[in-house]
């Protein structure tokens, strides 16, 4: 009988409750793994050209033109680092290699008449103390640079390499004071005498060790103690996804160089699928980006071991569509605490990058950066494009264009999943040192409505920390807080703010800290 009485009670007789909730910006980063109905509120459904930081997200910095006039797609960048501090930057484009150390129009090519521009390189000091930039592409004879001249490496050059056709050598790496290179389209690696960049090469063939065949894609040194030392392992990964690990010092002595094991982690993507990450190695595969230390911890590689776990559906889709395109690369950019995954959706254009904060593991997605290759020069990041080299993270525009950024935060239920909310106002809390323009939309109940209204904020004014108003004064000397209530009309059980901004001009830095929501709680849906 009590139940019947309750059913007759008018719905509007229930007291409506008002709520004000503050939600942090989507510092958890992009999430394409989980259902939009079950994401954490600090995640993002979309995060284009925003980069997640530890306590907020910011519009990524842009790039500036560094060198022009290279005449073709720049497919390789190579830094030469001499022990006395001398540094040079080289770019391979078309059939030539250019010195692009100094900004401006490029000069004459230093190396010409090449077959292709897809080089891989390493810096190495020999026993005489000479610093070498050693470049290989598996088609042309290797090219070595000693700071003053380029040398074509053959059996008769000085230095020279014997016992192997030098033009077949590719993908150099070092291990235990030796320079190694992979023989193109084979399961053979060749190593040189200790502390040498020339001499009689010796072969290690992985036939009979791997079970799936294929060819060696990359090699390197792997350690678990965050440095290079006596416990370093020799590692090679094949096109079929097998990882071969050796331990020891002298590959010529079986007693001191022995097989540790062979693991299968998934097929690698591209010609540059491996990057040093502290003492670990990261490997880019069709199944994700795996840290070597975790991938080899068991015979079966769990998907959640991949650092790309939250964006793996995006990576998998891209690998299905574009895995044969040139330009896949993992690139570590320590200055920005960033790991970049370069994805070439088209050859020479249409590239995108997924960017991970190396402190938090959160991901964002970058667009309008048409990068074929990346290189660290000093502490700065550079990328090669169509006839140009650009310096990344150097200004607040993409060359001369503003940066369009859009983020859609995950849906939040505000602590009451089943109750209807009548949303009245929102207040995005932003930091900027300019007067940015923003547009926004409040999406409810998993809808995907594009931004449809411009937000109006009070003009930013300067002031001293102790004398200015909190909402108007400068934060930390150069960033001002922007926080004005905006009227909205929306009804639903869950809501997500979609924020679009344009950086450039007088808005040099834009950060999204949090969002305040004012709503009225209604009935159970």
Tell me which residue has tokens 């207040």. Answer: 427
- The first and second tokens of residue 451, run together, are 């931004």
pLDDT given at position 459: 57
| Domains of the chain: total | 1
Residues of the chain with pLDDT under 50: 1-15, 226-227, 229-230, 462-477
Which of 401, 331, 461, 407 has its CA nearest to residue 24? 407
Structural domain harbouring 43: 9-59+406-524
pLDDT given at position 455: 74
pLDDT given at position 299: 57
In a domain, 186, yes or no: no
Give strand pairing partners of 109.
none
Q: Three-class SS of residue 157?
A: coil
pLDDT given at position 302: 73
**In whole angstroms, how large is the CA radius of gyration of the chain?**
27
In a domain, 425, yes or no: yes
In a domain, 122, yes or no: no
Which of 300, 271, 314 has its CA nearest to residue 121? 271
Q: What is the largest CA-CA distance in the chain?
A: 103
In a domain, 147, yes or no: no
CATH number at residue 480: 2.60.120
Report strand pairing: 29-30 vs 43-48. parallel
pLDDT given at position 219: 96
In a domain, 513, yes or no: yes
Q: Three-class SS of residue 202?
A: strand
Cα–Cα distance for residue pair 343/353, rounded to 1 Å: 6
* Global model pTM greater than 0.75: yes
pLDDT given at position 179: 98
pLDDT digits (tens, 9 = 90+) for 155-202: 999 999 999 999 999 999 999 999 999 999 999 999 999 999 999 999
Cα–Cα distance for residue pair 361/338, rounded to 1 Å: 9
In a domain, 471, yes or no: yes
Rounded to 5°, the CA angle 328-332-338 comes to 110
């Amino acid at each position: 009988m009590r139940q019947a009485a309750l059913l007759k009670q008018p719905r509007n007789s229930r007291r409506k409750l008002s709520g004000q909730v503050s939600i942090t910006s989507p510092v958890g980063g992009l999430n394409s793994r989980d259902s939009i109905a079950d994401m954490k509120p600090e995640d993002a459904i979309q995060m284009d050209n925003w980069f997640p930081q530890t306590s907020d997200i910011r519009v990524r910095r842009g790039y500036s033109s560094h060198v022009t006039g290279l005449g073709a797609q720049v497919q390789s960048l190579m830094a030469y680092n001499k022990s006395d501090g001398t540094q040079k930057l080289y770019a391979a484009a078309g059939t030539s290699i250019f010195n692009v150390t100094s900004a401006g129009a490029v000069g004459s090519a230093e190396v010409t008449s090449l077959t292709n521009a897809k080089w891989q390189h390493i810096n190495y000091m020999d026993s005489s103390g000479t610093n070498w930039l050693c470049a290989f592409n598996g088609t042309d004879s290797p090219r070595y640079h000693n700071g003053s001249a380029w040398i074509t490496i053959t059996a008769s050059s000085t230095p020279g390499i014997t016992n192997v056709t030098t033009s077949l050598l590719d993908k150099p790496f070092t291990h235990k004071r030796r320079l190694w290179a992979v023989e193109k389209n084979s399961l053979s690696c060749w190593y040189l005498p200790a502390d040498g960049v020339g001499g009689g090469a010796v072969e290690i063939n992985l036939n009979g060790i791997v079970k799936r065949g294929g060819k060696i894609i990359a090699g390197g040194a792997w350690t678990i103690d965050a440095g290079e030392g006596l416990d370093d392992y020799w590692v090679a990964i094949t096109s079929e996804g097998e990882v071969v690990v050796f331990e020891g010092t002298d590959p010529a002595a079986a007693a001191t160089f022995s097989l540790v094991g062979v693991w299968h982690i998934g097929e690698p993507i591209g010609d540059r699928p491996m990057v040093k990450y502290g003492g670990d190695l990261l490997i880019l595969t069709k199944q994700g980006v795996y840290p070597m230390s975790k991938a080899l911890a068991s015979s079966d590689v769990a998907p959640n071991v991949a650092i790309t776990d939250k964006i793996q559906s995006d990576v998998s889709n891209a690998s299905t569509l574009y895995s044969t395109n040139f330009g896949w690369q993992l690139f570590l950019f320590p200055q920005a605490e960033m790991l970049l995954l370069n994805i070439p959706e088209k050859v020479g254009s249409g590239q995108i990058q997924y960017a991970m904060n190396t402190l938090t593991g959160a991901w964002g997605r970058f667009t309008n950066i048409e990068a074929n290759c990346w290189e660290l020069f000093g502490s700065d990041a550079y990328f090669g494009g169509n006839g140009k080299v650009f310096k990344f993270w150097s200004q607040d525009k993409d060359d001369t264009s503003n940066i369009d950024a859009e983020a859609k935060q995950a849906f939040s239920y505000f602590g009451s999943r089943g109750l209807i909310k009548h949303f009245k106002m929102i207040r995005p809390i932003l930091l900027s040192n300019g007067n940015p323009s923003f547009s926004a939309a409040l999406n409810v109940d998993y809808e995907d409505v594009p931004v449809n209204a411009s937000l109006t904020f009070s003009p930013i004014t300067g002031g001293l920390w102790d004398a200015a108003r909190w909402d108007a004064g400068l934060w930390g000397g150069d960033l001002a807080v922007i926080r004005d209530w905006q009227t909205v009309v929306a009804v639903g059980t869950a809501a997500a703010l979609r924020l679009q901004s344009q950086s450039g001009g007088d808005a040099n830095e834009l950060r999204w800290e949090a969002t305040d929501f004012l709503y009225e709680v209604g009935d159970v849906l």
